[in-house]
Structure 1
């Protein structure tokens, strides 16, 4: 079913490419400039979006082995991911149940977690194993002092968690089958080649760029070229989006040769052609395919709000179909990843930071999203909808029957 849906999208892109057309929104949309600069709104976004909705917290290949763990802080919430002996991933609040001290930092492999403050020790599954000097501390019920768990879900080689232990929103319901399409990338069998973290502007300013091909031949004229495409058609699964250029051509993997997809049968369409473009997972993930190091790769960009309204940070994961083996392939993969750093850091995010500084003057009342910028329109509409939604509204918005009615 997922391949059939991918083929349907591809045939639509081919038809628009042959007709030299693109799908347009109904009108130009105006967004208040304060949406990017208002500190109170920013705090509400962190609370009602990032601390309430499912977030893609790691690619599976970042924790490939039993015992692998990852600690991170998201909008003030300390999160600890741990892969169990049976392969399951559990997400914990990274706080010792004695005094709240974080148990782990960074990444590593551990069969248990020991607090560096008083020495309380927890099993890999979060159970309290031992209290230091128990004869002095006093009797407690260990079962009542296990690590607190967050809802977690792993699918398509990606790991999601919800930073609300009491959340009733099903992560699969939130994704609405979108993860089945992402499974076409094959990430569950891929490897993590490299990663880094970049500082960026306001998180929505940064995310706007991932939803926009309009800027490519202008902002990236020195990296992608001034004749690069600037049109995108958009496909939606609730707030999650895919944008891809309307064209009948796709570059053959590992070659400069262009494939004419219109001349291929459905069975002949290659997987990488079916997944070309940018795939976004609301509210903070972008996935784009590339080729380097002699094989398929993808950059997964994981964006989070920073400490203030004008700050964000993005971790870029470069995942590959296989770990490159030869010195030439390793060099080629690094060159591809380094190129993407320049594009994002020196062009996208540098521009976004200048844009944010200008918007803070308060002299521009609103910004525009054209009919050709449908992705940005939909993104901002969902942001506004979700920051104002009650917990009950969330369940209704992402209920399976709601999707079926929309379909």
Structure 2
């Protein structure tokens, strides 16, 4: 008989509580479960109208992770990409503050930055209008051709920025009522974690289907039989929620060695994988030797851009990069490929008419929590 888990208020479990709970489950053959089964209408994955509401009323109105703070290490460091369909550029100013702007020149709308880099100013490559790192318009070539223009009224248009938990969050439009996005998170990415890579790729799948693949351990044995399962368990995971966020803990079998360690001295780094879901569309995975920030950017109702930031784990050291790269290659070449194949196959079958709803059982509580929060956020607008 599985044991039910209800998250405590305000924080995720610490190492000692995680270890104890996993050891109890391993001994009893149980896992965390939630009270109810959730049925999510398939129409919510197929409807263009619903997709547009998710973008307009949630992804642009909730603070969402844009990049790790480590992606902007010094004054002038910038990163430009689309978030919820809007071109955004984030930059660290000379004062150390991170700001973000709609990436469009105030003259004729040309994007003023692409990719990543370090700059002293943003100069539009169309006509040369130039903006300081704080977004102020500083220079207009042949300014006499624009009589009466007020530079102070033509700076880059800012979006709201918060730097929390080692991440840069952006919010584009008026906020959706709801709990704080940061309650209980603590430090997710530490100052000593080094950014190794930033990659993007597109997948022919709805963003929520892709997200769901990160949020349950029920699939580990069937999907990852020769890759992840030999190191882990069949359907053993911890599921916690704080506010709209959640965390799923996937233990490795080697955690059982902690049974012989005094509870107060137990540490789980390298013995579990943590998957933090940061509502609505980001996941941080903390693996044995590396950490990923994954942002799922919806492109269309059936297409998603995965933006992946890869970092070393905490602690650094000479071997940190090498260990992180080796760990990441194993995950990329095995489990990530298997998960992508599954979610794309679901998308290909979604118009088959076989299902009116997808059914998420008591083992899949983080997914149920996500859909419940999405429904509440849409209703709050």
Tell me if both proteins adopt one fold, taking TM over 0.5 as the criterion: yes
1:352 is aligned, of 316, 337, 343, to 343
Question: Does structure 1 residue 237 correspond to structure 2 residue 235?
Answer: no
> Which residue of the partner structure matches residue 143 of structure 1?
152
Find the counterpart in structure 2 of residue 288 from structure 1. 285
* Aligned equivalents of 1:285, 1:339: Cα separation in 2: 22
Match of 2:310 among 314, 318, 330: 318
SS in 1 for 2:380: coil
The residue aligned with 1:300 is 293
Q: 1:128 aligns with which of 131, 137, 146?
A: 137
Are the counterparts in 2 of residues 300 and 316 from structure 1 also a CA contact under 8 Å? yes
Give the superposition deviation at 1:178.
2.9
Q: Which runs of 5+ in 1 are unaligned?
A: 252-257, 391-407
Residue of structure 2 equivalent to 1:385: 376
Matched with 1:395 is none
For the aligned residues, what is the CA RMSD? Answer: 2.7
The correspondence for 2:191, drawn from 188, 192, 195, is 188
- Going by fraction, where is helix more abundant, 1 or 2? 1
Unaligned runs of 5+ in 2: 1-9
CA displacement 1:317-373 (0-9 Å, x = unmatched): 2201477757xx756543322222234552112211111111112332121111111
2:324 and 2:13 mapped to 1: Cα distance?
Answer: 32
Task: Find the aligned partners of 2:88 and 2:302 in 1 and give their Cα distance.
Answer: 23
Among candidates 297, 306, 309, match of residue 301 of structure 2? 309
Measured in 2, the distance between the counterparts of 1:37 and 1:152 equals 32
Q: Does the aligned pair in 1 maintain the 2:70–2:191 contact within 8 Å? A: yes
- The 1:104–1:237 alpha-carbon spacing in structure 2 relative to 1, beyond 3 Å, is same
SS of 1:49's equivalent in the other structure is: helix
Structure-2 change in CA distance of 1:372 and 1:169 (3 Å): closer
Q: Contact 1:234–1:375 at 8 Å: present in 2 too? A: yes
Q: Compared with structure 1, are the counterparts of its residues 93 and 262 closer, same or farther at alpha carbon in structure 2 (3 Å cutoff)?
A: farther
1:1-400 equivalences under 5 Å are 5=14, 7-164=16-173, 166-167=174-175, 174-180=180-186, 183=187, 185-200=188-203, 201-225=205-229, 228-229=232-233, 230-245=235-250, 251=255, 259-260=257-258, 263-266=261-264, 268-270=265-267, 272=269, 276-291=273-288, 296-306=289-299, 308-320=300-312, 321=314, 332-343=323-334, 345-390=336-381
Maintained 8 Å contact 1:103/1:116 = yes
Query: Could you list the per-position Cα deviations for residues 133-171 of structure 1 after superposition, in whole angstroms to 9, with x for gaps in the alignment?
Result: 11222122211112111111112211111022x44869x
Contact 1:176/1:237 (CA < 8 Å) preserved in 2?
A: no
Identify the range of structure 1 (192-201 vs 377-386) with the bigger mean alpha-carbon deviation.
Answer: 192-201
Report the 3-state secondary structure (helix = DSSP H, G, I; strand = E; otherwise coil) of the residue aligned with 2:32.
coil
Return the alpha-carbon distance in structure 2 between the equivalents of residues 106 and 34 of structure 1.
35
SS of the counterpart of 2:294?
strand
- The alignment partner of 1:210 has SS state of coil
Specify the alignment match of 1:402 in structure 2: none
* SS in structure 1 at match of 2:210: helix
Separation of aligned partners in 2, 1:261 and 1:81: 46
How does the TM-score come out when normalised to structure 2? 0.88
1:239 Cα offset (Å) = 1.6
In 2: Cα distance, 1:144 partner to 1:288 partner: 42
TM-score normalized with structure 1 length: 0.82
